[in-house]
A = this chain, B = another copy of it.
Amino acid sequence: HSCNMDSVSLCGGFVCIPIDVEVCILDEFHELAVNSTDILKAILLKALSPEENTHCHHGLYFQDGERRVDYVLTYPVKKLGGGRSCRQSAYLLTENAFARSLRRGPHGRGPHSHDPHNQDEHLRQNPARRAKDSSSLSSSPTINVQEDHKAFRREEFEGKLRDMGLELEKDEDAKTPGMGFVKIHAPWNVLCREAEFMKLKMPTKKVYEVKKSSGVVGKISSLVSKVLEPLHPHVEEHQPKNIKHLSHTFSREKEHLFDLSDKDYFFDSKTRSSIVSPLINRQVMQLNIVYCLLQLLYEEWANYSVFYKYQPIGLVRKYFGEKIGLYFAWLGLYTQMLIPASLVGVIVFLYGCATVDDNIPSMEICHPKNNITMCPLCDRVCSYWKLSTACGTARASHLFDNPATVFFSIFMALWAAMFMEHWKRRQMRLNYEWDLTGFEDEEVSGDHPRAEYEFRVMQKSMCKDQKSQQKVMCISQVEKLTYRDRLPAYMTNIVMMLLMIGVTFAIVFGVILYRISTKAALHMSSNPVTRNHVQLTVKTTAAIINLVVILILDEVYGAVARWLTVLEVPKTDKSFEERLIFKTFILKFFNAFTPIIYIAFFRGRLVGRPGSYLYVFESYRMEECAHGGCLMELCIQLSITMLGKQLIQNNLFEIGVPKLKKLIRYIRSKQGAFQEEERQKKLQRYETDHFLEPFAGLTPEYMEMIIQFGFVTLFVASFPLAPLFALLNNIIEIRLDAKKFVTELRRPVAARAKDIGIWYNILRGVAKVAVIINAFVISFTSDFIPRMVYQYMYSPDGSMHGFVNHTLSYFNVSHFQDGKETMDPLHLGYTVEICRYKDYREPPWSTTPYEISKEFWAVLAVRLAFVIVFQNVVMLMSDIVDWLIPDIPKDISLQIHKEKILLVDLFMKEEQGK
């Protein structure tokens, strides 16, 4: 069990235990939250048959068999310097600083003489550092003294817990050798007090009937719910409820309002753990206890065979808490919303397939009569070519580059706005159902300064201390870090972020160079069969290189972002999380989308013209898109990146890596001295769960989905099948995540949350950027605008006939500079005088030959006008959608109103009763 940085907690906040004592107690105490099963019995009674129910009736109790265990702390006994390792040097610093402060400070209650030993112990654990630090240290002490010291500090900590009203029981003769357990029970009055502070809303005795809407709407909704019946999981809660308990903020003065007949079951498991955990400290890990609820979750949720059903969100919330419940609710809604999007996407794609034969430009290209001779694509080595050879790509382009795509990208922008609104409504409904209305987020979590922050503040104050040569402690004087303290960290952050983005650009550029150079080599070769093979090879390898680089950098960037955020020392956990998410998002976003943006907007833009092609590094020509526009290539790149990322990263990594880690853990523990198999059966639940992976937060899960959301919305104009792929992935993803949470991870502490926090803002941001990017893709990457301009401004008969001819400029072969004319002009069978190339330039016979032509400017103006119109219209429509759909569903707002009246009524009656 490693003591990572996160576990260093200074107990700041609620019940303020003096900072300078418990710092490394957490090194010894591993808290295991044992949320005993039976609390949930009352809830599950209906869902289970009586037999199952009796089976369910087990849990952990104190020796007296009455007080339930709410939490378990573990600590190592006697086994020294074993598997533990304090790798973080910051942690060592903490130790040293504290040792120093203890030695000097007037408040240091610990036995001062023990501190050097403490330091020494850590040095033993970090032998690499020993030489460096040993000069300042005293001689090595005996193990016993050190043990005594630890025990003393442990007892002190336990005393504090008792002072707060918790009841403790030690259990040193556990089956796992080298580990002691302290079981904790929170008595009724402690639970009440804390619930009051947290302003928990609890159901009162008062019950009211929820009226069904009658009339046509009611009939339709009952019909719909009947049709959707098989999609609901077999969980009691999804049955339509006709009665609902009024909820009210818990308060001991209003005890008579609540049904306290069974005080043991009034607060459920999740609530108890979230009440106790801030009392003890930040939790380090919390274990799964496989019991009935978990079994039900396993069957009805974390199971691929129920992939077509809704999720039992209420159950998920009951077991994992609101924060994780909201994640899965969000994921579920997102997946649900993807269904119409992918349907429309498929229809748009099929429309493209159906109209490919009616498409005049591609017909003109393919028609053998229009045998247009094209100019060579590079100087000297390339030869003339026939336009009809581009027939295949032109036809394929039409699949993604047709008027339906424009409609689809407008549709998807509105879809995104719709999704946001629906999520807001869903969130509101969940808030109401979970009695979170009125609960303020900040009040509960995120207000405690982080340990690292307080440590830095203390360090700073001590530096001051040393400077002014005063012997008085002045911890209380310095209360916060100023901008001057943070400047170095901020600078590092900015520099590193820019560097990382630069690395992304560099790698993309590297891949481009790879493609250019191999293509150049390819043109040198004379064998046309090799050429075709090489071309395919180059494209495939380049895409794979891109994908691999993205996958590797994703991991690297995750680590870099975490390191940078640690460096920044944010004040609270909340700001830590937000900063981390922000940085990770920026880096991963650039990583995933830079190659795609390059293809969409830069490739084939600055290529020059025949006779004066643009070169990079003297000999390599800039890339050009195949005839038919860059949209086709964009589409290929998008699908490879998206599918590859989803298949490899999400599924392989997410399934494979945890399994591997578990295996390693298992093997390592096997190397221990005692026989595993024998004890396994006798072990307490919390002992077996010890080998599970700890819960690392929801950030990776959300991040994955947001990047996917980016793929679905940002370039959807070029790839209408993206929503379909996302949908297929997500159906698996939900069950995969569920499985991971249920079986692979330790049970996370139930965290309350009202919303999905910063993720919502990021989603909004992505949706906004998507509008602009789609506008540019349609107007610049696709040929939509040139076609429109031709049809309405230049076409002699208002049709598309002649469009291909109109987009091709003329080049007089005699204008090639010396040494640039093609070496192999012969195999066409006739002498070429005029060749054509795709660009809007003046013909050789004009007064300004090869200058950019009037048509170019006209098309450019129309393109830009389209961007303005598209962006503003779509943004306006999104705003209207936002405005039309109320944030609070009507039935919920009615119900809230009704509840309020009932509550007032209740109080009035109570009043009159007095």
Binding site for B on A (CB under 8 A): 14-16, 193, 196-197, 251, 253-254, 438, 440, 443, 447, 772, 853-854, 857-858, 860-861, 864-865, 867-868, 871-872, 897, 900-901, 904, 907-908, 911
Selected from B14, B196, B438, B864, the residue in CB contact (under 8 A) with A865 is: B864
Contact indicator B197/A907 (Cβ below 8 Å): yes
Nearest neighbor of A905 in chain B, beta-carbon distance: B16
**How far, in angstroms, from A534 to B857 measured CA to CA in the complex?**
43
Number of copies: 2
Chain B residues whose CB sits within 8 angstroms of the CB of A871 once the complex forms: 868, 871
Residue in B253, B254, B443, B904 whose CB lies within 8 Å of A14: B904
Q: Can you list 10 pairs linking A and B with CB atoms under 8 Å apart?
A: A16-B901, A193-B911, A253-B254, A438-B440, A447-B897, A857-B860, A861-B861, A861-B864, A864-B867, A864-B868
Q: Which residues of B contact A904 (CB under 8 A)?
A: 14, 197
Contact with A854, one of B197, B443, B854 (Cβ below 8 angstroms): B854
Whether the pair A861, B857 counts as a contact (CB closer than 8 A) is: yes
- In whole angstroms, how far apart are the Cα atoms of A254 and B857 in the complex? 76
Smallest beta-carbon distance A806→chain B, Å: 16
B residues within 8 A CB of A447? 897, 900
Q: Which residue of B lies closest to A164 (CB)?
A: B908
Q: Write out the residue numbers on chain B whose beta carbons fall within 8 Å of the beta carbon of A251.
A: 253
Residue of B nearest to A853 (CB): B854
Which residue on B lies nearest to A211, using beta carbons? B479
Identify which of A16, A860, A907 gathers the most chain B CB atoms within 10 Å of its CB. A860
CB neighbours of A901 from chain B (8 A): 14, 16
* Residue picked from A196, A772, A861, A897, most chain B C-beta under 10 Å: A861
Q: Please give the distance in Å from A765's CB to the nearest CB on chain B.
A: 8
Q: In the complex, which residues of chain B have a beta carbon less than 8 angstroms from the beta carbon of A197? A: 904, 907
Which B residues are CB-close (under 8 A) to A864? 861, 864-865, 867-868
Residues of chain B within 8 A (CB-CB) of A867 are: 864, 868
In the assembled complex, the Cα of A861 lies from the Cα of B860 at a distance in Å of 6
Residues of B within 8 A of A14 (CB): 901, 904
The complex places the Cα of A897 from the Cα of B449 at a distance, in Å, of: 12
Other-chain contact of A900, B193, B196, B443, B897 (Cβ < 8 Å): B443
- Judged by DSSP, the binding face of A is helix
CA distance A18 to B590 in the complex (A): 64
Residues of B within 8 A of A16 (CB): 901
Question: In the bound complex, what is the Cα–Cα distance between A49 and B900 (angstroms)?
Answer: 47
What is the distance, in angstroms, from A475's C-beta to the closest C-beta of chain B? Answer: 16
Q: How far is the CA of A254 from the CA of B858 in the complex (A)?
A: 76
B907 and A196: CB pair below 8 A? yes
Complex: how many Å from CA A860 to CA B861? 6
- Closest CB-CB distance, A552 to chain B, in whole Å? 31
Please give, as numbers and ranges, the residues of chain B lying within 8 Å of A440 by CB-CB distance: 438
User: How far in angstroms is the closest Cβ of chain B from A633?
Assistant: 25
Complex alpha-carbon distance, A868 and B861, angstroms: 12
Bound state CA distance, A853 and B861, in angstroms?
13
Q: A391 to B192: give the CA distance in the assembly, Å.
A: 84
**Docked complex Cα distance between A569 and B772 (Å):** 40
* Complex interface: chain B residues within 8 A of A861 (CB): 857, 860-861, 864
Complexed CA–CA distance, A254 and B196 (Å): 13
Measured between beta carbons, the chain B residues less than 8 angstroms from A911 are 193
Known interface pairs A193-B911, A864-B867; 18 further A-B residue pairs with C-beta atoms within 8 A, sorted by A's residue number: A14-B904, A15-B908, A16-B901, A196-B907, A197-B904, A197-B907, A253-B254, A438-B440, A447-B900, A772-B872, A853-B854, A857-B857, A857-B860, A860-B861, A861-B864, A864-B868, A868-B868, A871-B871
CA distance A196 to B872 in the complex (A): 48
Complex Cα gap A197–B248 (Å) = 13
Complexed CA–CA distance, A193 and B904 (Å): 10
Q: How far is the CB of A901 from chain B (nearest CB, A)?
A: 8
The distance in angstroms between the C-alpha atoms of A911 and B252, with both chains bound, is: 11
Who on chain B is nearest to A897 by CB? Answer: B447
Min CB gap A805→B, angstroms: 20
- Return chain B residues, CB-CB under 8 Å to A872: 772
Q: Which residues of B contact A854 (CB under 8 A)?
A: 853-854, 857
Distance in angstroms between the alpha carbons of A864 and B859 in the assembled complex = 12
Q: Which residue on B lies nearest to A216, using beta carbons? A: B482
Instruction: Give every chain B residue within 8 A of A897 (Cβ-Cβ).
Output: 447
Nearest CB of B to A214, in Å: 9
Chain B residue at minimal CB-CB distance from A848:
B854
Please, which residue of chain B has its CB at the minimum distance from the CB of A855?
B857
What residue of chain B has the Cβ atom nearest to residue A858's Cβ? B857
Which residues of B sit under 8 angstroms from A868, Cβ to Cβ?
864, 867-868, 871
| Distance from A176 Cβ to chain B, minimum over Cβ atoms (Å) | 37
Question: How far, in angstroms, from A861 to B904 measured CA to CA in the complex?
Answer: 65
Q: How far is the CA of A857 from the CA of B897 in the complex (A)?
A: 60
Closest CB in chain B relative to A210 CB, distance in Å: 15
Contacts of A860 in B (CB 8 A): 857, 861
Name A16's closest neighbour in chain B (CB-CB).
B901
Contacts of A900 in B (CB 8 A): 443, 447
Among residues of B, the one whose C-beta sits closest to the C-beta of A482 is B215
Shortest Cβ distance from residue A451 to the other chain B in the assembled complex, whole angstroms? 18
Give the complex CA separation of A478 and B581 in angstroms.
51
- Give, as a whole number of angstroms, the nearest-CB distance from A784 to chain B: 17
Docked CA distance A904–B13 (Å): 11
Chain B proximity of A790: nearest CB distance (Å) = 15
Q: How far is the CB of A190 from chain B (nearest CB, A)?
A: 10
User: Which residue of chain B has its CB nearest to the CB of A13?
Assistant: B901
Residue on B nearest A846 in the bound complex, by CB: B847
Leading 8 A-B pairs by shortest Cβ distance:
A857-B857, A864-B864, A253-B253, A854-B854, A861-B861, A860-B861, A857-B858, A864-B865
User: A853 to chain B: which residues have CB within 8 Å?
Assistant: 854
> Please, how many angstroms separate the alpha-carbon atoms of A438 and B249 in the complex?
14
Please, which residue of chain B has its CB at the minimum distance from the CB of A199? B438
CA distance A872 to B872 in the complex (A): 11
Separation of A19 and B395 alpha carbons in the complex (Å): 72
C-alpha gap A860/B853 in the complex (Å)? 14
> How distant is the Cα of A427 from the Cα of B64 in the complex, in angstroms?
56
Minimum Cβ distance to chain B for residue A447 (Å): 6
A907, B15: Cα distance in complex, Å: 12
| Bound form: Cα–Cα A900–B198 in Å | 11
State the CA gap A772–B872 with chains docked (Å).
9
